[in-house]
Amino acid sequence: METFLHDISWVVPLRSAILTPIFKGLTLLGYPPFFLAFLPVGYWLWDKKIFTRLAILVGIVGISNSFLKDLFQDPRPPLEFAMDKGVGESFGLPSGHAQIAAAMWFWLAYEIGRSWGWAAAALITAGVGFSRLYLGVHDVEDVLAGTLLGLASVVIYRGLVSEQFNAWHKLNPALQFAAIVAFAPLFYFFWPAGVPIGTIALVFFVAFWWLGHLIDEKWIRYERHESWLFAGVAAVAGIVVLFSLFKVMGDNFEAMGLSKLVATSLQTAIISFYATAIAPAIFRMSRLAW
């Protein structure tokens, strides 16, 4: 059993010129550029309430994964197996890709409530999880733990968004926002090691997504255009601006001499607020949305 959980040498013979691009593509579903595109487009084109719940879930799961990695400090497989150079120096247990994939896609399946949604969630989660094994950056234990934690997150989150937590849902929006932001400094008291910059950025991602959504609900009241042509134009333009804004901020914040922590947190906050408030307002003013 120990060998099965930790030895991934069996993966190497499976690699081929056909499978490698497939699994490299699947593993992209767990990296920030995918979320930067998928979550805003879902907000603009599908259902802004569903994708607000989803974005917050992704942020919470990302934070919990970062905490658990630093808590267990379990090394990844040997470097000679690695085909994905984007993992940096992070630890292996649990797999963030597997944990977030299980939480995100099974939560969407729960929101959809159809059998095909559950089947799609299982297929995508399995594909993303196996891609981490195939690319040699996680072992079986990492992926299994991540998947199980992601599924547990769906169950827990279902309770958090239920009527049992009406006290939170009815809280003044300003207090809600302040409460979310207040988590960032608290991490410095109980984090196993130094708090990663990306974790603080995730707190700001959640806080400013929620703030933008509250502003949208109260004042902007964005609704997708009934014409898919107009809605599609809005989404494409919105994503082009989003990635351009992301790059410009990255270049300029660095030139301004801001610390990596401040620059990344600002960058994430502005992008979240853009997705849920600024872009919807622009879409409405330009008649690309109702």
Please give the span between the terminal C-alpha atoms of the chain, in angstroms, as a whole number. 57
Residue 113 sits in the same domain as residue 195: no
Q: Considering 129, 145, 164, which residue would you say is the last residue of a domain?
A: 164
Number of compact structural domains in the chain: 2
Q: Are residues 185 and 153 part of one domain?
A: no
pTM equals: 0.95
Coil, strand or helix at 277: helix
Same domain membership, residue 140 and residue 21: yes
Structure tokens that stand for 268 in this block: 């994430």
30 and 155 together in one domain: yes
Q: Are residues 202 and 94 in the same domain?
A: no
Q: Looking at 116, 143, 164, which one is the last position of a domain?
A: 164
Residues 25 and 134 in one domain: yes
Same domain for 140 and 15, yes or no, is yes
How crowded is residue 250: how many other Cβ atoms within 10 Å of its Cβ?
13
Q: What is the pLDDT along the chain (290 residues), one digit of tens a residue?
A: 668 889 999 999 999 999 999 999 999 999 999 999 999 999 999 999 999 999 999 999 999 999 999 999 999 999 899 999 888 788 999 999 999 999 999 999 999 999 999 999 999 999 999 999 999 999 999 999 999 999 999 999 999 888 888 887 788 888 989 999 998 999 999 999 889 999 999 999 999 999 999 999 999 999 999 999 999 999 999 999 999 999 999 889 878 989 999 999 999 999 999 999 999 999 999 999 98
Interior angle at CA 221, CA 220 and CA 224, nearest 5? 115
**Structural domain span for residue 226:** 171-290
Residues 2 and 141 in one domain: yes
The helix/strand/coil state of 62 is helix
Which residue from 63, 61, 138, 66 is spatially nearest to 104, judged by alpha carbons?
Answer: 61
The answer to whether residues 58 and 103 touch, using CB atoms and an 8 Å cutoff, is yes
Residues 149 and 175 in one domain: no
* Beta bridge mates, 224: 289
Q: Which of 138, 164, 190 is the last residue of a domain?
A: 164
118 and 230 part of one domain: no
Residues 55 and 157 in one domain: yes
89 and 198, same domain (yes or no): no
